[in-house]
Structure 1
């Protein structure tokens, strides 16, 4: 195992962001292309059930949590450099809101505007003690999970992300392996119990959950939202543990590049989905399994592109623009080639 140094903390977060992007698109594509309702007893029906057991409500929670972590790191690092971290953060979320405002016109369920507004509301919590942020975040998350309030769960998830930053959760992971393993074991037991409970309430028929659902389907989906953070925490724990092995880091390095350009790739997931929809006339004609094929195709474009782009540039395209607006200065985008002056 390789000790996790302070600088590698960012890398772990990039892996997690990339991992979150892999799951988010699998669900987002369904309403964007109006994917057809599966027929009972088909592979499409099985895949739909898989999505709502293991994907829906699992990856947006991770994305929200990571935004909270980034919230804390951004302000802390800006302040450490003698800059006004709060003022810079206000410009940062303002830029994010504007980008999200354009994005939401094409993707009604997009997260950037929600993150910008929530980040603004949670700004005072940056100075709150970590114990208070942790306690308040957990209490709110439990309450909103029980209520299956998916939208408002972003608030406690981001608050817990801030607390994670305050506790330096992602620093020195190599020295906390035993604790991580214990947490994973506990989360595995609880998650399996929750998933079995959700599966027991699964409708025996395929369902369309965008235009209203019956009571059985509503209960199934609500349970999924309720246990979502637990399953997400299990995914995160397993991935972090695996990343302590150098061979896993190398194998998953494309995921790190994908996560380093999370903003660009998140927006362009929507772009690629619509391009595929219009070029191949996929609206209201695509099946669930075919939507998976489209997502894999998008992965095969975005991940190699991210790797190649970051070989020559410091930031992703939208990340660079976001940085320019935040700092009101133009940082170098292209990397200097060694030996060339």
Structure 2
């Protein structure tokens, strides 16, 4: 598996103070009975290179800005790179742009995504592929085949695996919760297909095996964890003030602080595949006052050097046998799905 860059893209949202919500329009889905009628309307959308920790963004847009209209340019992706995007970024036209070599380029760019239910898969002769007739029946059973997508007739590799019932049940629960938040009911097809992981990619088998496709798919959670780190531990949405301008200023200041924190994590521990961003971020918060003092009195280089040393000496995740970390899979452990009691622990930030 050889990639020159691996970009994960996702979207997260922050609620701005009430007086400024007209400046940051809400997204749709505010149906009666939804649990979050105001939705979340200030968006930060970075592209995240998981190979080196480089952050493209965050870029601020209003809540109506679709993931599909990402301001991050496909043309800026380096040749040989891999884009791993969630379903919010699903766009066959965008996948076609990614797969097209740059001007004068010889190496292709690659994409990997879950399949969007309802999207037609066709054979090269134009015949539609009916998934229900070919889906694996046994847990752990896999199939893969070639297909074409959309009017662009984009050639893709389709990888399908039947997941344990516990995993499918957890997915259905999540699907129903998200649908309720947006005021609609999920389709029967979406609920039925939760028992399978269906991935589309243009990565050839000679570069990436089926197991590696599933492991790469797990990387999309890394940016979710980054957002969670920013929100829960950077307190992006928290303020003790009731003054709208003060709250909005704090949001921007905290976003700036999170970008600086990410730079320190990049320099301090990104070279370690078993790094714990949570532990490394704790080091940054613990030493933040020293950074502020050094900015005023001098000695910043020495302070930063000490902080990076702290990160390198003790900011690793523990190796787990029952619920392996993504880094363990990346380092060669065979992919496997967690059992139900382990699924409850997946929300733990590591």
Higher strand share: 2
Higher helix share: 1
Q: Which has the larger radius of gyration?
A: 2
Indicate whether the TM-score tops 0.5.
no
Structure 2 length as normaliser, TM-score?
Answer: 0.31
Q: Which has the higher contact order (CA 8 A, sep 6+)?
A: 1
